[in-house]
C-alpha cells in the first residue's frame, strides 16, 4: 500500500475495519469485477460477503444491531470498495442513505421495525427522488400522494433508482400538498416495502419496476424506473409520521450521499493511478520504460496530487458532518472536486495505457466508462457549484 490517500487520526477499530475491507476488495472484488461488469451481472457473491462483514449495518447504531460507526468510517470503506468496483459501492450507498434517513428522522416504531433488518442486510434500501422530467429541479416533482382515510394513494413515475429491482425498501418522495405554502413544504417521504424483482410487484398492487435501464457504465447494479398507479400506503409509513417534511429529509440524505459519491471518486481515481503507474513501469518505448520519460513522470505527479487532494477534501466533509455541523458547503466541494479529478486521473491513466487502454482486456477500459457517472450522480458539477456559491455568499456577505 502506497502513501497516497492516508487518513490521520483514525482509531484502531477504524484501521482494522479498513484493513479487512481492503483485503476483501483485493481478494473478492478486483479479480472478478471486470468479468461481471462486462456481463452486466449482479454481484451476488460479493453482496453476501459484505453482509457477512456487517457492512450493511456499518453506520446503524449498535442498539439496532449495527456497528455504530461514523460517516467518516463509512466514506473510507466506500473509497476502498469503489477502488475494486464502483458498482458495488452503489449497492451500499442507497441502502446507507435510507438507513441514515430512518435513523435521523424516523419514528421509534419505524426505527425498531426497519433498522435491525437493514443492519443484517435482510432489508436493502433504495432511494427515489428523481423523475423523468425533473432533473435537478426537485420543486417540479409531480408524483403525488393523496390522503384517503388511514392511507395515502400514490400515483406517478420515478426515475434513476439504484437497486430499484433488488431492493426491498424504497424511500419515495411525493407531493402531498399538506405541509405549507411553498413547494418544499408540500413533499413527503413514504417508506414502501416491496418484493425484489422486476415487473408488477406481487406484494404492492399498482407498483411496477419495468426493468433495468441499459447504461454505458455502472453495470452490475440495477438502475430502474418506478411506476406507481393507485398504490395504497398506510399513513404510518410516512417517514417521521408527519407529512410535509420530505424535502428536508431527502436533502439530508443527499448531503451524506454526496460524501459517498466523493468517496467513490477517490476510490476510482486511486485505482486508475495504481493501474497507470504499474503499466508505466512495464511498458517500454524508445529503449526504456515509459515511466522514465519525463512526460509520463509529469502525468503521474499530476494524477497523484489530484488523488491526494480529493481524498483529503472528502475526509474533511465527512468529519464536518460527523461533528453535527452543517456540511453542505464541504460536501458540495468534495463531490465536485473528487468527481472532476476522478475523470481526469482516469483519462490520464487511459492515455498512459495507449492503445491497450481501449481494449476490454485491460481494467482501465472499465474505469473509463464508470467515471462519467460520478459527474452527474447526487447532483451535477453545476449544481454543486451553485450550492457552494450560495453558501459562500452567506458566509462572506458584506454589510449594506
Tally DSSP H helices, then E strands, for the chain. Answer: 11, 10
pTM above 0.85, yes or no: yes
Is residue 260 packed enough to be buried (19+ CB in 10 Å), middle (13-18) or exposed (0-12)?
buried
d(CA 152, CA 172): 13
d(CA 233, CA 307): 45
- State the pLDDT at residue 156: 96
Give the DSSP H/E element, type plus range, for residue 182.
none
Q: pLDDT digit of tens for each residue in the chain (400 aa)?
A: 678 989 999 999 999 999 999 999 999 999 999 999 999 999 999 999 999 999 999 999 999 999 999 999 999 999 999 999 999 999 999 999 999 999 999 999 999 999 999 999 999 999 899 999 877 778 789 999 999 999 999 999 999 999 999 999 999 999 998 767 777 889 999 999 999 999 999 999 999 999 999 999 999 999 999 999 999 999 999 999 999 999 999 988 888 888 889 999 999 999 999 999 999 999 999 999 999 999 999 999 999 999 999 999 999 999 998 998 888 899 899 999 999 999 999 999 999 999 999 999 999 999 999 999 999 877 788 888 988 999 999 989 998 7
Give the active site residues. Answer: 378
d(CA 221, CA 91): 7
Q: What is the DSSP letter of 98?
A: H
- State the pLDDT at residue 179: 66
d(CA 357, CA 352): 8
d(CA 96, CA 84): 19
Residue 24 CA, distance from chain mean position = 19
- State the pLDDT at residue 1: 62
- State the pLDDT at residue 170: 97
DSSP 237-256: GBGGG-TT-HHHHHHHHHHH
- State the pLDDT at residue 222: 93
Give the DSSP H/E element, type plus range, for residue 21.
helix 12-24
Helix (H, G, I), strand (E, B) or coil at 324: coil
Amino acid at each position: 500500500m502506497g502513501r497516497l490517500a492516508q487518513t490521520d487520526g483514525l482509531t484502531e477499530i477504524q484501521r482494522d475495519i479498513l484493513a479487512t475491507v481492503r483485503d476483501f476488495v483485493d481478494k473478492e472484488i478486483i479479480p472478478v469485477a471486470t468479468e461481471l461488469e462486462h456481463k452486466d451481472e449482479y454481484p451476488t457473491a460479493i453482496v453476501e460477503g459484505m453482509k457477512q462483514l456487517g457492512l450493511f449495518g456499518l453506520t446503524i447504531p449498535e442498539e439496532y444491531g449495527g456497528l455504530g460507526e461514523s460517516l467518516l468510517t463509512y466514506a473510507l470503506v466506500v473509497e476502498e470498495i469503489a477502488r475494486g468496483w464502483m458498482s458495488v459501492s452503489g449497492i451500499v450507498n442507497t441502502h446507507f442513505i435510507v438507513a441514515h434517513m430512518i435513523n435521523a428522522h424516523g419514528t421509534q416504531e419505524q426505527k425498531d421495525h426497519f433498522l435491525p433488518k437493514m443492519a443484517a442486510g435482510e432489508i436493502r434500501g433504495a432511494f427515489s427522488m428523481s423523475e423523468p422530467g425533473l432533473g435537478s429541479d426537485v420543486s417540479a416533482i409531480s408524483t403525488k400522494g393523496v390522503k384517503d382515510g388511514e392511507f395515502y394513494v400514490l400515483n406517478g413515475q420515478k426515475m434513476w433508482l439504484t437497486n430499484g429491482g433488488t431492493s426491498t425498501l424504497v424511500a419515495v418522495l411525493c407531493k402531498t400538498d399538506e405541509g405549507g405554502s411553498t413547494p418544499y413544504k408540500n413533499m413527503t417521504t413514504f417508506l414502501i416495502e416491496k418484493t425484489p424483482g422486476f415487473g408488477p410487484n406481487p406484494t404492492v398492487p399498482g407498483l411496477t419496476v419495468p426493468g433495468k435501464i441499459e447504461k454505458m457504465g455502472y453495470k452490475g447494479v440495477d438502475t430502474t424506473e418506478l411506476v406507481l398507479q393507485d398504490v395504497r400506503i398506510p399513513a404510518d409509513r410516512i417517514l417521521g409520521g408527519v407529512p410535509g417534511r420530505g424535502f428536508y429529509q431527502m436533502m439530508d440524505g443527499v448531503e451524506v450521499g454526496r460524501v459517498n459519491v466523493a468517496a467513490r471518486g477517490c476510490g476510482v481515481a486511486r485505482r486508475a493511478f495504481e493501474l497507470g503507474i504499474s503499466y508505466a513501469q512495464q511498458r517500454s518505448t524508445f529503449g526504456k520504460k515509459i515511466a522514465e520519460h519525463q512526460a509520463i513522470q509529469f502525468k503521474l505527479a499530476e494524477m497523484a496530487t489530484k488523488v491526494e487532494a480529493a481524498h483529503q477534501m472528502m475526509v474533511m466533509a465527512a468529519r464536518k458532518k460527523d461533528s453535527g455541523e452543517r456540511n453542505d458547503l464541504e460536501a458540495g466541494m468534495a463531490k465536485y472536486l473528487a468527481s472532476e479529478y476522478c475523470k481526469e486521473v482516469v483519462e490520464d491513466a487511459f492515455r498512459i495505457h495507449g492503445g491497450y487502454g481501449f481494449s476490454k482486456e485491460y481494467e482501465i477500459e472499465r474505469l473509463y466508462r464508470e467515471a462519467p457517472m460520478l459527474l452527474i450522480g447526487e447532483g451535477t458539477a453545476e449544481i454543486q457549484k451553485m450550492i457552494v456559491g450560495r453558501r459562500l455568499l452567506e458566509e462572506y456577505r458584506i454589510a449594506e
